[in-house]
Amino acid sequence: MSEETTPESLPLSGVTVVDLTQVIAGPFGTMNLGDLGAEVIKVEAVGRGDRSRGIQPTPAYFDTINRNKRSIEVDLKTEDGQQIVRELVADADVFVESTKPGRVESFNLAYEDLREVNDSIIYCSISGFGSDSPYENLPAWDTLVQAMSGIMSVTGEEGGQPLWSGLPSGDLITSMYTTQSILAALYARERGDIDSEWIEVPMLDAAISWLSARAGHTFGTDEPFPRLGTRHPTIAPFGLFSCRDENIVIAAGTQSLWTDFCAVLEREDLLADERFETMHDRSQHPEVLTEIIEAELASASADVWVDRLQAADIPAGPIHDTKSIWADEHVVRRNLKRTMEREGRDDAEVIDHPVHFSSLQTHLGTPPEELGESTDGLLARYGYDEAEIERLREQGVVGTGDDA
């Protein structure tokens, strides 16, 4: 990512997104659009804002999913508040919402309502289960989506209980489809194939789609994919292995990699062992194979073994945590941990956008804002004078945030 960007270098320069989402599934998706150059206007509830503003640690949790957005604080239960959002949408390209079923209708901000003010709007609704699901009104938390989708069933140790994945996988999967579908609709509109579009992204459907090869196991065997911890059902050696001091991950997943792996271990005799002759043979004897490998790995530290294996082009690496990862030489060289400076309060630590173009660019433009920080500036842009803004503030229609 270049530090200097121009409107022409940002793929979504000139695109405006009105963002009525909160927590992760919507905000991470709209942040992706902001990284690509879209102006994202984040509409937040007066006094409370996005619920992730209250999740500890604050504001670090919120900051990681809300850069490149301008916050406006609006009470959507009021007619004036609804009118403000309609005026924002009238000049926008995209509207994204993740409210409870029936909520946008009560705010007069449904797709049909907003098409009246902008007949070319790309409207995206993020929901737990979709508008025609028997679970339509069930609140969709990430852990519930992981459980109901099958993701939790394949996560955990062999013989153990199903586990939440640790990442908010259901939310993040949904965010990726949100970004993808909006980009597709913008392209179709630009091409003249559509005038406007309503997109529905149900979290459960999105999560189920990522079962992919795990579902393939069931389609081919009529059996559930098993929980195996870090072990693979058909590839060995694969997974977590103990060294003298720490664990590492090894994935010697081809016959040539197995040959090279044995050479690094100085155990070429294993190549003649009929239990390990083929990949299938090795996958049928995972316990004894692991025991043999770990006996060799116990002779040196994890760092030594990772260096030796990587020097032989064998997929192997350390098991980082969310603190140690930032010292990894790859992360440091690629400058993946970034700091966005903020005047008057602590700077925001964020993760760089991972995609790099040859001609186009992404950017870290606007640091994560405080609740309502751009309220006055945005209202002024849309024609509200100081007296009108003060009236709205006194009536509680907008919050007390000051323009950045």
The residues annotated with a catalytic role in the active site are 171
Helix axes 142-149, 169-191, angle to 10 degrees: 90
Phi then psi for residue 270, to 5 deg, are -65, -25
Which tokens belong to 323?
């603190």
Side by side, the strands of the sheet bearing 316-318 are 238-242, 247-251, 316-318
Phi then psi for residue 38, to 5 deg, are -70, 150
Phi-psi region of 132 (alpha: psi -120 to 50; beta: other; left: phi over 0): alpha
| Cβ count within 10 A of residue 44 | 26
User: E strands along 238-356, which residues?
Assistant: 238-242, 247-251, 316-318, 337-340, 348-351
243 contact partners, CB below 8 Å, separation of at least 6: 297, 298, 300, 301, 302, 304, 305
Distance of alpha carbon 307 from alpha carbon 316, whole angstroms: 9
Distance of alpha carbon 404 from alpha carbon 388, whole angstroms: 19
Long-range contacts of 219-225 (CB under 8 A, 24+ apart): 224/153, 225/153, 225/154
N- to C-terminal Cα separation, the chain: 25
H runs (alpha helix) in 53-202: 60-63, 79-90, 103-106, 111-115, 142-149, 169-191
Contact 336, 36 (CB under 8 A): no
Helix %, strand %, coil % of the chain (to 5): 40, 15, 45
Position of tokens 């209250």? 54
Side by side, the strands of the sheet bearing 69-73 are 69-73, 39-44, 16-20, 94-97, 122-127, 197-202
Largest CA distance in the chain: 86
